[in-house]
Each structure stands twice: as C-alpha cells, then as structure tokens.
Structure 1
Amino acid sequence: MARSNYLFTSESVSEGHPDKVSDQISDAVVDLFLSKDPEARVACEALTTTQRVVLAGEIRCKGVYDNKSGWAPGALEEIEKAVRATVKRIGYEQKGFHWESFAFENYLHGQSAHIAQGVDESGNKDEGAGDQGIMFGFACDETPGLMPATLYYSHRILERMAADRHGRHVDFLEPDAKSQVTLAYENGMPVRATALVVSTQHAVGADQRKLRDYVKGVFADVLPDGWLPADEATFVNPTGLFEIGGPDGDAGLTGRKIIVDTYGGAAPHGGGAFSGKDPTKVDRSAAYISRYMAKNIVAAGLAKKCTIQLSYAIGIAEPLSLYVDTHGTGTVDEARLEAVLPKLLRLTPKGIRTHLGLNKPIYQPTASYGHFGREANGDFFSWERTDLVDALKQSI
C-alpha cells in the first residue's frame, strides 16, 4: 500500500553549476547543427574545468560536416563561437573560468556508419531507434504544471535567484548554485516545507548576513504562504564561504544531472541523459513523449499520478514495450491505456519527432531548470502541451 504521510526531498542546480554549463554547451551545439540541417545527427559531450572546455562526440550535418569531406569552411569557428556565447550568457567572467579566454578543444568527429545504417530511413525501412534503452515519463497533480512539488520549488528558487543576478537586482550572486527542498506530505499531497537548503557562489567579500537574508526572502516569495519551515531548518551556504565555484571549483560533465532534469527522484529514470543528443536519440525523444502521454492522462482526469515506460532496440522503429502505471489513482484500467495510446500517436522515433516538432533548434533552454513542467511556448517544450486530452477521453 502506498504511503500517504511522509517527507520527500528533491534538489536542483543553477545554470552556472559546472554540470549544467556542460549540458548547455552540448545543447548549443545540437541547436547550431539543427539550425543548419533538421536531419543532423549529434551526440556531443562537454567537459568543463578551470579555464578549459572540451567537446567530444559523433556528428553528421549537411553543410557543416560529413565523413567524406570533413569540416566545412568556418564550421569549427562557428562551433567555438556558440560555446563561448553560451558561457557568456550564463555569466562567467572569472579568473578561473572566463568566456573570452578559456582554452577550447574540439574532438567532435563523424558518426559511425554502422550506427547510421540502423538509424537512417531507406527504401521500405523506417527510421530506427538510435540506441537500445528504457525511458520513463511521469506526471502528478501536485502542482499546476503536473510536476512533483519538491522539484518544482527547487527549480523556482534558483530561477528567481538567476533572474535577480541577470537583472542586477543584487550584486553579490555568482552563477553557481544548488537548492534542496524537503516537503511534508499528508494524505499524499504536499502541505509544508520541513527543510530548505541553498548553497550559492557569491562575490569575494560578500556580506554573509545580507546574503542569507536575501535567500530567505526568495524562499518566502517562492513557496506558498504558511509553508516556510522553522529558521533552524533553513540552511544558506552551510559550509561558509563559496567564492570559488563553477567549472573552476568542480569539473562539469554533460548528462550528470539527469534526476534534476526529470522528476527529482519522484519517478524512475532510464539512465540516459538528454543534453547533447539530437531527437533521433530515443534517450531524449522517447522520454519527452513519455512525459507528454503521462501529463495528458493526468490532465484528462484519468489519474492523479502516472508513470509511463517505453523501451527500444537500436535500429528498430517500433517500441518493444509500453507500460502504464497510475499508482492506484486511475479511473481507467492501465491495460486499456496501453492499448489506446499507440492508436493516438506513433511511438517510432520519426513519429515522435513529427508529433512534437523536435527537428528544430529548441534545446538549449531545456538544459537548465528542468526539461519538464515548463511553459509550452510555441515550438518550445511541445511535450508539455495537453492537446491529447480530448482524444484520450473519447477513446476510453
């Protein structure tokens, strides 16, 4: 039997966290390539450390790179420009990591022909999945965006701090930060915070009392009225000074914050990262369509909580399995949902990309503050739309 009264915790990290810097750089490369060629293939990893950014991975992109002729004139310079622009936008102009002066190394190379032959469409062969794997989607009715409340508020705290930093409303914040929110649940719903944590990089010599008062003010603004915990359960930079941060304080890697990217630990994760991958990679696109299906099920009132799993084999178009779990909150049998969903949308890699409009340069905004539970603005975050609700209701 599911527990109804408990404590649960999720964390988030800011756009300036070294792993998130790497994610944003990788997705800047994805967006650059997709802007040149909607059918580009990209698997771009980034390493960030003290005054250095390194790219590695496999690519294919018309007008930019192919295995026969290599790099197009000016392509390498354009990639470096996109990487530096990403770091500049985040706000790194520090001695240990500066957008204008860090050493840059690019080890991207051509995609394996053996992978390409399994993925590419040809003759009567449909486009296959770019790899094997399992992907999960999740939704619940804890917040208006149908996301777990612990992660939702963890993200919102850091987004607010980043907005204040970029808007120069405060002068002591630096880009690197982490948050953590613990909520008490009663009858399965969040009712108050029992602990709040923020560790944020700050300017040299910053007034620590002023910093703590500011962060506590953000807590008060972001959380619902009456949710703040006791003062002794509120922790702001609990280790003391945090002047050295970002890639200078800790190396960053693409794909190392997958729980922050998804559901804050409230749902399973298949293990595959999103950032740096074009949408033929089902690690990304199938996770997006799984979230889309789960969110529409909850939005349609068919469940209060829903987990969906898809699985794929490399080179094979159709998923090997579809699993729906409404955690005892559903109004419809899960097997019925499993039968209906594939009739409403194609769950092949190409079908997913077409339904959600994924072959566009839309990915860098996903690489900080979560891939889910965000505003569905135009082409961005199309997997957050609830336009499947009516079809679901009519099919059940």
Structure 2
Amino acid sequence: MRSHYLFTSESVSEGHPDKVADQISDAIVDLFLAKDPEARVACETLTTTNRVVLAGEVRGRGMIDLNGNWEPGAQEEIQRTVRETVKRIGYEQAGFHWQNLTFENYLHPQSSDIAQGVDASGNKDEGAGDQGIMFGYATDETPDFMPATLYYSHRILARMAADRHSGAAPFLEPDAKSQVTLAYENEVPVAATAIVVSTQHKPDYCLPWEKNGQKGGDAAKYAQLRAYVLGVLNEVLPAGFVTADTVIHLNPTGKFEIGGPDGDAGVTGRKIIVDTYGGAAPHGGGAFSGKDPTKVDRSAAYVCRYLAKNIVAAGLARRCTIQLSYAIGVAAPLSIHVDLHGTGTVAESAVEAVLADPARLGFALTPRGIRTHLGLNRPIYQRSAAYGHFGRTPDADGGFSWERTDLAAALKAALA
C-alpha cells in the first residue's frame, strides 16, 4: 500500500435518475416483505421523462401467486407505492412529476425453475438465488469504518437533501452529484485537493449566459448557491480539509435546471460503486436494490461488510476485505477469502477458518443463516437505496443490521 497518494470517490443524490430507480425497486421489495417475509422479489425499474416502468419476477402472499394471479388491489398498491416514492424524493416538475407520470407494471411470477433451486424442501436447505462473488470492506479511516472519500461524498449530498426538504435551501432541486479527492499521508487522509458538486437548481441560479439570442442566469443567485455549497463543504469535511488550494467545481457545465429522469434515463443497479465503497475495494458486480434477501448479491455482500467491519472494530486489522462465492441452488459458500492488507494482528488463514466454521462464528454463511442472523426478512431496504448501503447507523427496527459491531468481541476471542 502506498503511503502518500490521492484518491477519489463520487456519490449521487436521491434525486439522481438511477437512484430514483433504485429507491422505487426497493420500495417494491419492502411492500412485498411487509406482507410476506418469505416473498421473492427481483424488481427492475426504468425511469425517464414522466414515465416509470417496472419489470421483473415476484411472488408473495397478499400480492401475486405462482400462477400470475394478482390479489385484489395489489397492482393499485404497487402504483401507489411508486408514486409515493417519487413524491417523497421531491419530484413535482413538468418533466417528471409523481402525480402526472405514466406508470407501467410488467412484474410477473418468479420462474418455477429458479424457485425449485432456491426454496428449501425436504432435507435440502435454501439455496443461493444466483451464482456470483460478493465482497465486503472496512477501514479505520472514518468512525463508520468507511473510505473517507466516499464517506464525505455521501454526507455532502445528504446534507444538501436535508436542507432542500426542510426549506433551508429552497433553490435546490432533487438531482445532484458530488466527488471528493483526498490527499493521503502515511495512509491517513489529511486534505481535500479537489471537490466537485453538481446540483440541479431553480431557474437562474447560474452565472449569466447568452446563446442564440436567449439569456439567463443571475450572478447574485449563483453567488448565493456557491456560498451555500461552500458552507456545506466546510461543515461536512473535517476542519482544515478545505483550504485555499482546494480546487472546487460547482456545476462545471454551467446551468443545471433540467435534471432527474427528465434529463437522463435511470435504471436500477447502475450505481453499484456509489452503493458500496467508492472504488476503494473490489466489487462482485451484482446490484443490491430490487432484490429480496435470498439473493446473495445482496445478503452475502451485506454479511461480508458485517464481518469485515467487526474484524476492524475488534482491532484485528486496520483494513479488511472479505470475498464469498456461491452457486445457484447451493446453500454453503464455495469459497471464503480474507485480505487484511498487511495491517492484521492475526493470520488471514486463521480468520478464514473461523468464518468457515458456524460453531465458532455463531451462524452459517448460507442464505438462510445470513438472513436469520441479520434479520433481513423485513421491509428495511428503501432507506438503503440512497447515500450508500454501508457506513450507516443501525436502526431500531433492524434496518442496517449489517452495520452492527456486535460480533467484534466474539471474533477477537475466537482468534486469540
């Protein structure tokens, strides 16, 4: 690991078109799980100008059966959930409005071929919902054990969204992106060298412009927007990180009035690096949103994060990456790999041996074992679909259970 370097991560707001799609897909997951904890959902969402389209495979009591028969009122409830999600985000624009958008639902029953491999039956345990590799990562760079570049990128946009919703920043619109570049010395972040914030705004909150005989922009309004963003940066980042040498780009294209799904189509699962570790760790390639927790793309990635975070919280390493792999229909992981990046106080092979032994770990790394230990069969997913699935505070109702550090003491004892 280099001791002196620059590193960059980006985030996108809840109003980014891809994040709108993610939140809708996870709202559908929550709707099904609220009615049936054993529901199966694989929901993809497409958003574009005043249109939302759902597609995918589902089943769940109270909603739809394997024969494709919808329960009375179920499709209306799905549409209502979609519109409420868009309204909560704040879209009431001519090009994308929660009330006026056209909605299309192409969800259909889960394949019986997939179901027979995933469901438990007889002596067969519940199998993984798909093959694949999943990664989890933790670092002691921040209090939440997340890469600092992503940690601050998320918090910039979350703060701006909170101010937009409260009315403290009425000139903001829902779509936004951030990017933070930090300088590291001796592997510790010490300063921000560059920050990019692109935020959708009310008319004329940009520098004056003229093109083809048309004019717009207002220097005073732009100055207000810039002063606000600089204030957010100085409050979110540690004292002294933003200096006179920090290069700050605010809306570098000029104006940003057309945004969200009206400005760019959104699709579920296109922000997987934003969702995880900002490029600081490997990614297995599978998206999370729109999937119930039998899908190991989601649940195994969550448990990898849970294990990596607890290893770092236990003081067994300063950085930790964990990989699991699965085959569709097979319960047990095919492989377990641990990398402590040269920062560990124990051998990686010793950690792998503990993780492979349910008696020593306290639970099995099977789909059912993961879901049971982390309590994943609950409607807790929509809240995870913006500002990162990791580095969050566990909720009393079980949300972000994978962010708990309740396993740290047991891991430390097992590896003593």
Say whether the fold is shared (TM-score over 0.5): yes
Instruction: Indicate the residue corresponding to 1:365 in structure 2.
Output: 383
Q: Structure 2 matches for 1:262-341, cutoff 5 A?
A: 262-341=276-355
Give, in angstroms, the shift of residue 68 of structure 1.
2.3
Letter in 1 for 2:366: T
Contact preservation (8 Å) 2:394, 2:400: yes
Give, in angstroms, the shift of residue 341 of structure 1.
1.7
Does residue 390 of structure 1 match 2:409? Answer: yes
Deviations 1:343-364 (A, max 9, x none): 3121000000000000000000
Does residue 30 of structure 1 match 2:44? Answer: no
SS in 2 for 1:377: coil
SS in 2 for 1:225: coil
Q: Structure 2 matches for 1:73-112, cutoff 5 A?
A: 73-112=72-111
Q: Structure 2 matches for 1:9-28, cutoff 5 A?
A: 9-28=8-27
SS in 1 for 2:138: strand
Contact preservation (8 Å) 1:194, 1:230: no
Give, in angstroms, the shift of residue 340 of structure 1.
0.7
Please identify, of 64-73 and 348-357, the stretch whose mean Cα deviation from structure 2 is larger. 64-73
Following the alignment from structure 2 to structure 1, what is the Cα–Cα distance between the partners of residues 151 and 409? Answer: 26
Distance verdict in 2 for CA 1:83–1:193, change over 3 Å: same
Contact preservation (8 Å) 1:196, 1:229: no
Following the alignment from structure 1 to structure 2, what is the Cα–Cα distance between the partners of residues 171 and 261? Answer: 27
Following the alignment from structure 1 to structure 2, what is the Cα–Cα distance between the partners of residues 68 and 29? Answer: 20
Following the alignment from structure 2 to structure 1, what is the Cα–Cα distance between the partners of residues 411 and 71? Answer: 47
Does residue 202 of structure 1 match 2:216? Answer: no
Following the alignment from structure 1 to structure 2, what is the Cα–Cα distance between the partners of residues 277 and 393? Answer: 33
Following the alignment from structure 2 to structure 1, what is the Cα–Cα distance between the partners of residues 180 and 198? Answer: 12
Q: Structure 2 matches for 1:222-301, cutoff 5 A?
A: 222-230=236-244, 233-301=247-315
Q: Structure 2 matches for 1:108-147, cutoff 5 A?
A: 108-147=107-146
SS in 2 for 1:336: helix
Following the alignment from structure 1 to structure 2, what is the Cα–Cα distance between the partners of residues 115 and 64? Answer: 19
Please identify, of 207-216 and 324-333, the stretch whose mean Cα deviation from structure 2 is larger. 207-216
SS in 1 for 2:9: strand
Give, in angstroms, the shift of residue 393 of structure 1.
1.2
Contact preservation (8 Å) 1:127, 1:316: yes
Give, in angstroms, the shift of residue 213 of structure 1.
1.0
Give RMSD over aligned pairs: 0.8
Give, in angstroms, the shift of residue 204 of structure 1.
1.1
Following the alignment from structure 1 to structure 2, what is the Cα–Cα distance between the partners of residues 228 and 13? Answer: 21
Following the alignment from structure 2 to structure 1, what is the Cα–Cα distance between the partners of residues 31 and 62? Answer: 12
Q: How many residues align?
A: 395
Where does the alignment leave 5 or more consecutive residues of structure 2 unmatched? 206-220
Please identify, of 372-381 and 250-259, the stretch whose mean Cα deviation from structure 2 is larger. 372-381
SS in 2 for 1:306: strand
Contact preservation (8 Å) 2:57, 2:108: yes
Deviations 1:321-374 (A, max 9, x none): 000000000000000000012331210000000000000000000000000000
Following the alignment from structure 1 to structure 2, what is the Cα–Cα distance between the partners of residues 263 and 135? Answer: 13
Give, in angstroms, the shift of residue 67 of structure 1.
2.2
Following the alignment from structure 2 to structure 1, what is the Cα–Cα distance between the partners of residues 275 and 111? Answer: 28
Dislocated runs of 4+, deviation >6 Å: none
Contact preservation (8 Å) 1:51, 1:102: yes
Q: Percent identity?
A: 74
Instruction: Indicate the residue corresponding to 2:211 in structure 1.
Output: none
Contact preservation (8 Å) 2:195, 2:246: no
Letter in 1 for 2:413: Q
Deviations 1:95-151 (A, max 9, x none): 000000100000000100000000000000000000000000000000000000000
Letter in 1 for 2:35: K
Following the alignment from structure 1 to structure 2, what is the Cα–Cα distance between the partners of residues 231 and 334? Answer: 41
SS in 1 for 2:379: coil
Contact preservation (8 Å) 1:212, 1:236: yes
Following the alignment from structure 1 to structure 2, what is the Cα–Cα distance between the partners of residues 389 and 172? Answer: 44
Instruction: Indicate the residue corresponding to 2:150 in structure 1.
Output: 151
Give, in angstroms, the shift of residue 171 of structure 1.
1.2
Distance verdict in 2 for CA 1:220–1:69, change over 3 Å: closer
Following the alignment from structure 1 to structure 2, what is the Cα–Cα distance between the partners of residues 393 and 313? Answer: 30
Following the alignment from structure 1 to structure 2, what is the Cα–Cα distance between the partners of residues 69 and 304? Answer: 50
Following the alignment from structure 2 to structure 1, what is the Cα–Cα distance between the partners of residues 50 and 345? Answer: 55
Does residue 170 of structure 1 match 2:159? Answer: no
Following the alignment from structure 2 to structure 1, what is the Cα–Cα distance between the partners of residues 188 and 302? Answer: 25
Contact preservation (8 Å) 2:68, 2:109: no
Contact preservation (8 Å) 1:23, 1:255: yes
Where does the alignment leave 5 or more consecutive residues of structure 1 unmatched? none
Give, in angstroms, the shift of residue 198 of structure 1.
0.1
Letter in 2 for 1:94: Q
Contact preservation (8 Å) 2:193, 2:246: no
Give, in angstroms, the shift of residue 69 of structure 1.
5.4
Output the TM-score relative to the length of structure 1: 0.99
- Out of 344, 353, 369, the position equivalent to 1:351 is 369
Give, in angstroms, the shift of residue 287 of structure 1.
0.1
